[in-house]
Chains A and B, each alone.
Chain A
């Protein structure tokens, strides 16, 4: 089983991104998804920068994949996507049907988690058009995955989002700008001040969601570290971790060690706990509400 790092969902400043990927080159991940998937206004890095980063990661033995924007609204975004798609070097993760439309029968591509693949027939169609890997949509559960795996097209890899704040929805509206009473067109890139998004709490103080520009994430961190054995048994090829500012390299190490059979998942849960500031959830995997945590907690096991 391979380990991947999803695209950075937040707006990090340029130096931070470059430093981050310099460290990723040394980290035990196999696949690295790169690029801006949330907001087309975030341009701290240009395509040439992303290609440079990809080159460095490829030289370090990683598989770089360029991820495309999830919500396409403007013609300029289509043109920019076309330049990414036609980069000539690296594979593409398509996060919208527009990207798949550009990729089909041109080059192999990865179906991102924001393309709605819910059944085998959809998977078959996209595999015929050139998909070589698909990332399961986050709201799907293990039973659905098992069924999809049993009839999976040949040579199609399966990737599952196993760690990080879940990307739950996208809007035309920027919620970070709204929190600052700014119009989106004059947002001042205020999301750059929130490298981990803005916490949205209920009026009872429950950490509920996380605002990241036009994206809404789960407040809690999705964590399937306890399910790695089951994911392996289901024939999942790649596990995806979603970048966060705190503890990312410790998180990568923990997952790597569990995958390599060098660490018990119960120990891993404890080691991950400091990096999950609003707690964890695993409901989606078990066919339950996403925010629920059904796996017996590490704390409960050790009490």
Chain B
């Protein structure tokens, strides 16, 4: 895959106002899901029913943006029919691509709707050209979203051989585990990204005030304790402070956001087709700010990748809305690993 003179900006739409914010601020595409467990951001108050999805597609298309719909959880036998009906409904919407993770559901879709463009969700855990080939060969997948675990060099190597377009995460909350291969949330709460489209769900979160500070619990398990003057973050269970070998620290990952502005030219030159923004659970204001900033950055990068460098104001705007108000290149940068 070589640079095509374009690198798409794909933005999250957890609601109609967020979708409008993304489209109005320059997203090339938006991604959304139905209001149920068929997608990996199954949060209360988010997402779209069929009529809303129809209006969303209409608004996006009128304004020149594409729409991807995610049905990216793994249905169990008892859920199979419902997930197939979600695909059937999606097929009536005129969407531009369906984002799937489950091989069975991909097979159903590819055979029932051969003209519907398929993207492999990040939940599909494809981290090599060989795995990508599998999904291309069997289901005609046209684009693959890579898990946030590869270094820049590894992404570049995949790009040399990939038989489908590649989309990578560019900004948003960082998942430190391989997506689609993490059962930590179900271990604690019974609900996981694969099965329920949630991680560390809010209904299991409890906050307690105690003498040593504010405590966050996830279904009873102590995730973190914050000193009185310390800002408290959402208790995603891999981003708490725990004790290992007598030390208390962020044993898995700090609360921080991924931000790839610094390596945008490298991603572009490698032929990455699209940069994805995480955050369907975030506000329309977040979507507007992040979309506007990344739009400017990507346009500048594509116009002149050789001289591109991230502007200070972009970084500062993004840090303000970032988890932990800080950012990292994550696994793209070897030292992080």
A86 vs chain B, min Cβ distance (A): 14
Q: B182 near A169 (CB under 8 angstroms)?
A: yes
For residue A245, which residues in chain B have a CB less than 8 angstroms away from its CB? none
Number of contact residues on A: which range applies? Answer: 35 or more
Q: Could you tell me if A200 and B242 are in contact, using CB atoms closer than 8 angstroms?
A: yes
Stretch at the interface among A17-25, A119-127, A236-244: A119-127
Decide: A116 and B74 in contact? CB cutoff 8 A. yes
Would you call A185 an interface residue if the criterion is a C-beta within 8 Å of the partner chain's C-beta atoms?
A: yes
Q: What 1/0 mask marks residues of chain B from 50 to 90 whose CB sits below 8 Å from any chain A CB?
A: 00000000000000000000000011111010000000000
Stretch at the interface among B2-10, B36-44, B246-254: B246-254
Bound-state CA distance A248–B180 (Å) is 30
User: CB within 8 A of A119: which of B74, B138, B187, B336?
Assistant: B74
Chain B contact residues: over half helix, strand or loop, or mixed?
Answer: mixed
Task: Give bound CA distance, A276 to B188, whole Å.
Answer: 19
User: B243 contacts the other chain (Cβ, under 8 Å)?
Assistant: yes
Select which of B74, B104, B127, B238 is within 8 A of A73 by beta carbon. B127
Q: Find out whether the CB atom of A71 lies under 8 angstroms from the CB atom of B181.
A: yes
- Interface 9-mer from B13-21, B129-137, B295-303: B129-137
Rounded to whole angstroms, the CA-CA distance of A76 and B133 in the bound complex is 17
| Chain B residue contacts of A174, Cβ below 8 A | 337
Could you tell me if B149 and A172 are in contact, using CB atoms closer than 8 angstroms?
Answer: yes
Which partner residue on chain A sits nearest B138 by CB separation?
A125
In the complex, B177 has a CB within 8 A of chain A: yes
Q: Is the CB of A139 within 8 A of B337?
A: no
Instruction: Tell me whether A275 is interfacial, beta carbon within 8 Å.
Output: no
User: B178 to chain A: which residues have CB within 8 Å?
Assistant: 71, 169-172
Check if A206 sits within 8 Å of B107, measured CB to CB.
no
- Distance in Å from the Cβ of B87 to the closest Cβ of chain A? 12
Mask of B220-234 contacts with A, CB within 8 angstroms, 1/0: 011111000000000
- Chain B residues 116-133 with CB under 8 Å of chain A are 124-131, 133
Expressed in whole angstroms, the minimum distance between the Cβ of A224 and any Cβ of chain B is 16
Among listed B164-172, B190-198, B261-269, B311-319, interface-contacting one: B190-198
Q: Given A119-B74, A216-B252, are A74 and B243 neighbors across the interface (CB < 8 Å)? A: no
CB distance from A41 to the nearest CB of B (A): 11
Which residues on A sit within 8 Å (CB–CB) of B283? Answer: none
The answer to whether A119 and B154 have CB atoms under 8 Å apart is: no
Q: Are A206 and B251 neighbours in the complex by a CB distance under 8 Å?
A: no
**A176 → B minimal CB distance (Å):** 9
A287: chain B residues at CB < 8 Å are 190
Which A residues from 55 to 112 make CB contacts under 8 A with B?
A: 70-75, 77-78, 96-98, 100-102, 104
Question: Is B205 an interface residue when CB atoms closer than 8 A count as contact?
Answer: no
Instruction: Specify which of A116, A140, A204 is in contact with B125 (CB 8 Å cutoff).
Output: A116
Roughly how many angstroms separate A178 CA and B331 CA in the complex, as a whole number? 14
A201 to B178 alpha-carbon distance, docked (Å): 22
Whose C-beta in chain B lies nearest to the C-beta of A183? B335
CB pair B186–A284 under 8 Å, yes or no, is yes
Contacts of A138 in B (CB 8 A): 183
Cβ of B184 and Cβ of A168 under 8 Å apart?
yes
Q: Please state if A288 and B176 are interface contacts (CB–CB under 8 Å).
A: no
**Cross-chain contact B334 with A185 (CB below 8 angstroms):** yes
In the assembled complex, A118 has its CB within 8 A of some CB on chain B: yes
Minimum distance in angstroms from B245 CB to a CB of chain A: 6
**Other-chain residue from B105, B138, B224 in contact with A121 (beta carbon distance below 8 A):** B105
Residues A289 and B187 in contact in the complex (CB < 8 Å), given A116-B74, A206-B221 = yes
The answer to whether A179 touches B247, judged by C-beta atoms less than 8 angstroms apart, is yes
In the complex the two chains form, is A166's CB within 8 Å of B74's CB?
no
Residue of B nearest to A204 (CB): B222
A216 proximity list for chain B (CB < 8 A)? 177, 184, 252
Which residue of B105, B126, B130, B135 is within 8 Å of A102 (Cβ)?
B130
Q: Are A116 and B194 in contact (CB under 8 A)?
A: yes
In the complex the two chains form, what is the Cα distance from A148 to B78 in whole Å? 10
Q: How far is the CA of A298 from the CA of B129 in the complex (A)?
A: 49
Contact B183 A169 (CB under 8 A): yes
A97-B187 contact given A121-B104, A122-B102, A204-B222, CB 8 Å threshold: no
Please state if A172 and B150 are interface contacts (CB–CB under 8 Å): yes
* Neighbouring B residues of A97 by C-beta, 8 Å: 124-126, 130-131, 134-135
> Contact: B225 with A203, CB < 8 Å?
yes
Q: Is A147 an interface residue when CB atoms closer than 8 A count as contact?
A: yes
How many whole Å from A94's CB to the nearest CB in chain B?
11
Binding site for B on A (CB under 8 A): 70-75, 77-78, 96-98, 100-102, 104, 114, 116, 118-126, 137-140, 143-144, 147-148, 151, 166, 168-175, 178-179, 183-185, 198-206, 208-209, 211, 216, 218, 283-284, 287-291
- Which residues does B use to contact A, with CB under 8 Å? 74-78, 80, 101-105, 107-108, 124-131, 133-135, 137-138, 149-151, 154, 157, 176-178, 180-184, 186-190, 192, 194-195, 219, 221-225, 238, 241-245, 247-248, 251-253, 331, 334-337
8 residue pairs bridging A and B, Cβ less than 8 Å apart: A101-B130, A114-B181, A116-B102, A119-B104, A166-B183, A169-B177, A287-B190, A290-B190
Q: Which 10 A-B pairs have the closest CB atoms?
A: A121-B104, A147-B77, A172-B149, A122-B104, A98-B130, A118-B74, A290-B187, A169-B182, A101-B134, A289-B190
